[in-house]
Structure 1
């Protein structure tokens, strides 16, 4: 059972999402919140696997709430859900540890799949803004937002692992990576686990940021 919290300042949206998501047998909406402060209070009472977090909320907004939640409850996954396609918000929320970013126009089926994906350690970026996110990651070095990885650890990566990292940088899911590289999803998961362990990175979001920062996205490994 995936325990979900919904944080949005509009009651209609909170209740609508709760009703729809509760129709799935593997999802339990444990609580709702109208701002970031309520999110933190709720987390004192409930163990939550995934939070659907609105960006623009009064008091403590979704970006700063994400930062606070990930600092205190690192195992809780966060999907940013908003109508605002805003560069700074996308950049900051992902930087603070959000695992996904979806526009509110997403279908309920896509939202459900995103929750399941994020709960199992994956990342989910709405296709409509994936290019924008990639562009922002590319500019991170100019803003001093970098992911530090020891060069000695980098040298331990195998060619197949480099290929997996590159596809993670492009925002592909495990299933998509498996199809691209003619591997099983289980093999891709094993590669990812090995890569994160070798590089001492927290999750695939950090891995994606590092892949872009390191210039990996322009390399062609088949020719090496």
Structure 2
């Protein structure tokens, strides 16, 4: 059973998301928080698998809340709930380890599948905002946050792993990568796990930033072998 906590300062959002997620056979709600400070306290008490995090909250905003939660509980996944106006906030949350973001108002199936995907180790970037994600990754790559990978670590990467890295850097989901490379989603997940282990990277977001920094996304095949 996937344990989920919702942090949002709007009561209607908290109630509606709780209702639809609790109706899923494999998901259970463990709490709701109306501000960031309350969210941190509930996370410490309940140890959820996933936190659905509003980006703009009183007392402690979603960016700082993400930073504190991931620092204390790196295994807990955070999905940011956002609007089109929250780009810079999302940028900060991704830097601190959020597994992706959803626009408020997504369908029930998209929301539930997003929760399942991050628990499996994936990341969530909705198709409608994928271009914004790429812009964010590019800004990260040009900015102060540099992802360091030793050249010896890349030496053991296989051809298909390079191709998967390229697709991740382009903001594609596991399903989209599987379709593009004619692989199963399970195989894509296995490649991603292998790549993260070989490069000693924390998560998919760091991998995407590194792919942009190093120019892998500009490689026609993503193959450096």
Query: 1-side partners of 2:118 and 2:74: how far apart?
Result: 13
Query: 2-side partners of 1:8 and 1:27: how far apart?
Result: 19
Q: Give the ranges of 4+ consecutive aligned residues of structure 1 lying more than 4 Å apart after TM superposition.
A: none
Cross-structure match for 1:32: 32
| Higher mean displacement: 194-203 or 133-142 | 133-142
Would the aligned equivalents of 2:10 and 2:34 in 1 still touch at CA under 8 Å? yes
Gaps of 5+ in 1: none
| Higher mean displacement: 53-62 or 85-94 | 85-94
Cross-structure match for 2:49: 49
Cross-structure match for 2:193: 193
Gaps of 5+ in 2: none
Would the aligned equivalents of 1:3 and 1:29 in 2 still touch at CA under 8 Å? yes
Partner SS state of residue 178, structure 2:
helix
Would the aligned equivalents of 1:83 and 1:105 in 2 still touch at CA under 8 Å? no
Partner SS state of residue 145, structure 1:
coil
Cross-structure match for 2:135: 135
For the aligned residue pairs, the C-alpha RMSD in angstroms reads: 1.5
Query: 1-side partners of 2:223 and 2:87: how far apart?
Result: 35
Structure 1, residues 109-152: CA drift from partner, whole Å, max 9, x if none?
21111111111110001222210110121122332111111111
Cross-structure match for 2:166: 166
Cross-structure match for 1:15: 15
Aligned length: 224
Query: 2-side partners of 1:133 and 1:183: how far apart?
Result: 24
TM-score (norm 2): 0.94
Query: 1-side partners of 2:167 and 2:181: how far apart?
Result: 9
Answering whether residue 131 of structure 2 is matched by residue 117 of structure 1, we say no
